[in-house]
Amino acid sequence: MSDDGPDAGRRLRGLVAANLAVTENLTLREVLSQIVESARDLLDSTYAALGVLGDDGRLAQFLHVGLDADAAARLGDLPRGHGILGLLIDDPRPLRLHDLGRHSASRGFPAHHPPMRSFIGVPIRVRDEVFGNIYLTDKRGGGPFTAEDEDLLVALAANAAVAVDHARLHDETTRARRREQASTRITTALLSEAASDEVLRMVLAEGRLLVDADDVHLARDADGGDLVVVRRHPGRPAFDAHEQETIDRFSEQVALAVGRARARDDRERVRLVAEHHRIARDMHDHVIGRLVGSGMAVHGLGRYITDPDGHRRLAAHLDDLDAAVRDLRTLIYGLDEDPAVVWSLPARVAQVVEEAAAHLGFTPGVTVDVTVALPVGSTVPEHLLGVLREALANVARHACARSVEVTVTCRADRVDLTVADDGTGPPQHRRAATTSGGHGLTNMADRAAALGGASSLCRNVSGGATLHWTAPLGGAVAGAEEGTADGGPG
Amino acid sequence: MQPSRVDPLAAAHARSVVLVEDDAIVREQLVAAMRAAGIDVLAAVSGVARGYDAVVGTDPDVAVLDDRLPDGLGVDLCRRLAADRPGVRVVVHAAAMTTTEQRAALDAGAVAVVSKNVRPDALLHAVLCSPRQFPGRSGAGKVTPLRSVRPSDVRTKQA
């Protein structure tokens, strides 16, 4: 800065202002564009640009001013640092040219590139590493850039380096805080009760903050697997190793959110299927109801028919209708059979007792305590009723009893049957039990054994005998620990 | 040995019925069939609410409930009746029920589930042969034989 004129003072003030501007608490990107603007103003050039070096030694970022957006769009790709721009990369020292097009390194301008003549470029060194370069072209007024211009630009670059370093730290701090916040929000979202697709949306949105990405979305790879796509706009730096680690962790969180969303979709599908099923069910019920109603009406008309042949034909039609109704029921509900009447267990117990009453000459007392529902499809009730029938038959044949009490108790894990009479008591010993009293007792024991239960016949203190028969509910297993005693001492 | 809970007087022939059925044709046909079989139809109504009122008001031996009524399910009415009128035997009359639904009806205290058919024979059988529930005991599953109980048994039972 050899000039002492008013112009020198203006430029000095310009440099100070530029330095102030670039050392404010700005993000790196803001600092960089501030440097480009300041350099252009300071050196009075038409165009200014700043290239940031990437890991590959070429330009990873390129900021420019002086070229309007349309002209820039026509140019297409930003320069990567070949030709003249590459000179500074390969040899990071200030470079001034009168006519950059005539330099031996020049590769010429691409199509639509505005003509440029004078050129100056200086490197920006941050902590002994070349961060990038400032390039200015076409000094206003047509002359070349001067040595003084170079001094000014070098001074600006030195200060820019400090500002870049500062901004990097600032950016890093800001990013770290954002990462932490985004990470917290992702965890919160994953643990929340919000709808799964909403959680996924939130997680993907936070993912952008996590690694300062411009776009995060889900995609499918060629094999149909899920991909988390994390992208930055072209011209922005690639993800560094640390960020890639973060992205890896993030993708695991997305996988969780996707899993949740899928499970939710599945539940929704199940709900829809159930809903369709319900609608179909209502329709079938309605159809069956109509068929039955019409059939009953036709049946009722039978009393007006006097002709025997008419009655036969009516009966055939009613049989057809009945068969159709049964088919509908069995087909639609997947029933193996369509019993006309399904009795409750207490009712069946009562019916068995009722049958026996004729042989006993009196009606036994019955208590049926069903506090739990028997498992659907359990064979235990059939066995129990068989045992009850045999027990009552034995009492009728051998016991000379005047009263019998029958108790059936269903608990969560087992069914108990007792048949207590006031007759002559059980057979005196086992041999007698198996030979005379016997067939019944053996059958009862076999039924119990098949179910993993137990059977015993005991003498009552007050006279008579009591049969205890028990079977476990659910998953009947042969040879359970209770054993298979077919009779016991009184 | 516990004394039996049989009430021989209450166990006289079960011949009074309240029918709860929302289909008018079915209702009319069933009433005719039951009356022809000597059953006294105390009321034939549609709906859970009217059905409940009719059963509570007339105290029949048996209540025949359609499983699907305009204002609810027969099984729910069955559960209420089992609690409030345990002496009334409930027969659920169903157009179509899955095995699980049949089971639910029996667990709710129904004595039997009868599939609706063109001929009323099965329903009449269920009504006439349904064992009587123990009087004074609420809850499902307390029944005792109906037809064989005779007044002479009273002595025996009080041993």
Considering the domain architecture, whether residues A291 and A392 belong to the same structural domain is answered as no
User: Considering the domain boundaries, does residue A1 fall inside one?
Assistant: no
Whole-complex ipTM: 0.79
Considering the domain architecture, whether residues A242 and A194 belong to the same structural domain is answered as yes
Which B residues 96-135 touch A at CB under 8 Å?
96-100, 102-104, 106-107, 110-122, 125-126, 129-132
* pLDDT at position B70 over 80: yes
Considering the domain architecture, whether residues A160 and A11 belong to the same structural domain is answered as yes
**Distance spanning both ends of chain B, measured CA to CA:** 9
User: Considering the domain boundaries, does residue A16 fall inside one?
Assistant: yes
User: Considering the domain boundaries, does residue A237 fall inside one?
Assistant: yes
A335: chain B residues, CB-CB within 8 Å: 98-99
Q: Side-chain half-sphere of A487: how many Cα atoms within 13 Å?
A: 23
Beta bridge partner(s), residue B112: A343, B91
Residue B68 pLDDT grade (very low, low, confident, very high; cuts 50, 70, 90): confident
Sign, CA dihedral A325-A326-A331-A335, equals positive
Considering the domain architecture, whether residues A86 and A167 belong to the same structural domain is answered as yes
Sign, CA dihedral A474-A479-A482-A486, equals positive
Say if residues B29 and A301 touch (Cβ distance below 8 Å). no
Q: β-strands A226-231, A215-220: how paired? A: antiparallel
Helix (H) or strand (E) holding A122: strand A119-126
Q: What is the model's pLDDT at position A438?
A: 56
As given in the structure block, the two tokens for residue A298 are 């036709």
Q: Residue A429 carries which DSSP code?
A: S
Q: What is the model's pLDDT at position A430?
A: 47
Domain boundary among A173, A207, A227: A173
Q: What angle do CA B19, B23, B25 make, to 5 degrees?
A: 95
Q: What is the model's pLDDT at position A252?
A: 86
Amino acid code (one letter) for B72:
G
Considering the domain architecture, whether residues A414 and A467 belong to the same structural domain is answered as yes
* pLDDT at position B43 over 90: yes
* pLDDT at position B157 over 70: no
Domain ranges of chain B: 16-157
Which CATH number fits the domain that encloses residue A158?
A: 3.30.450.40
> Which of B148, B150, B157 should we substitute to test contact with A (largest number of A Cβ atoms within 10 Å)?
B148
User: Considering the domain boundaries, does residue A485 fall inside one?
Assistant: no
> Which of B115, B129, B146, B157 should we substitute to test contact with A (largest number of A Cβ atoms within 10 Å)?
B115
* pLDDT at position B78 over 90: yes
* pLDDT at position B94 over 60: yes
Question: What tens digit of pLDDT does each residue of B104-155 get?
Answer: 898 888 989 999 988 888 999 888 888 765 433 333 444 544 433 333 332 2
Tell if the CB–CB gap between B112 and A294 is shorter than 8 Å. no
Task: Tell me how many helices (H) and strands (E) chain A has.
Answer: 12, 13
Considering the domain architecture, whether residues A295 and A354 belong to the same structural domain is answered as no
* pLDDT at position B2 over 70: no
Q: What is the model's pLDDT at position A197?
A: 76
Say if residues B143 and A349 touch (Cβ distance below 8 Å). yes
Q: What is the model's pLDDT at position A108?
A: 78
Q: What is the model's pLDDT at position A134?
A: 93
As given in the structure block, the two tokens for residue A314 are 């009516």
**Residues in chain B, total:** 159
User: Considering the domain boundaries, does residue A340 fall inside one?
Assistant: no
The H-assigned helical ranges of B19-149 are 24-36, 48-58, 74-84, 99-107, 121-129
pTM, 2 dp: 0.54
Q: What is the model's pLDDT at position B134?
A: 40
d(CA A81, CA A233): 19
Q: What is the model's pLDDT at position A474?
A: 67
- Using CB atoms, pick whichever of B106, B125, B149 lies closest to residue A363: B149
* pLDDT at position B64 over 50: yes
A216 three-class SS: strand
- What torsion do the CA atoms of A147, A148, A149, A150 make, to the nearest 10 degrees? 50
Stretch B27-32: mean pLDDT, rounded?
92
- For domain B16-157, the question of CATH label 1.10.10.10 is answered with no
- Nearest-neighbour CA in chain A from B132: distance (Å): 8
B156: chain A residues, CB-CB within 8 Å: 362, 402-403
Give A333's contacts (C-beta < 8 A, 6+ positions apart).
B96, B97, B98, B99
Looking at beta carbons, which pairs linking A260-267 to residues 24 or more positions away fall under 8 Å?
Answer: A260/A190, A260/A196, A260/A199, A260/A200, A261/A196, A261/A197, A261/A199, A261/A200, A263/A196, A264/A195, A264/A196, A264/A197
- Measuring CA to CA, how many Å separate B30 from each of A168, A215, A285, A291? 90, 71, 19, 15
Which CATH number fits the domain that encloses residue A447?
A: 3.30.565.10
Give B99's contacts (C-beta < 8 A, 6+ positions apart).
A333, A335, A376, A377
Tell if the CB–CB gap between A299 and B120 is shorter than 8 Å. yes
d(CA A367, CA B72): 32
Number of domains in chain A: 4
Q: Provide, rounded to the nearest whole percent, the portion of chain B with pLDDT above 90.
A: 39
Q: What is the pLDDT along chain A (490 residues), one digit of tens a residue?
A: 444 556 777 777 777 777 766 666 677 788 888 888 888 988 889 999 999 888 777 888 888 898 888 888 888 777 877 888 888 888 889 999 988 888 878 877 877 888 888 999 999 988 888 889 999 999 988 889 999 889 989 988 888 888 888 888 887 788 788 888 888 888 888 787 777 778 888 888 888 888 888 888 888 888 878 888 888 888 787 888 888 888 888 888 888 888 888 888 888 889 988 888 888 878 888 888 888 888 988 888 888 888 889 889 999 999 999 888 888 888 777 777 778 898 888 888 888 888 888 888 888 888 887 766 666 677 888 899 999 999 998 888 877 888 888 988 888 788 899 998 888 877 665 444 444 445 567 888 888 888 888 888 888 888 888 999 999 886 444 333 333 333 333 3
Domain boundary among A232, A265, A298: A265
Considering the domain architecture, whether residues A352 and A388 belong to the same structural domain is answered as yes
Q: What is the model's pLDDT at position A6?
A: 60
Q: What is the model's pLDDT at position A278?
A: 82
Domain boundary among A249, A265, A281: A265
User: Residue A128: which domain range?
Assistant: 6-173
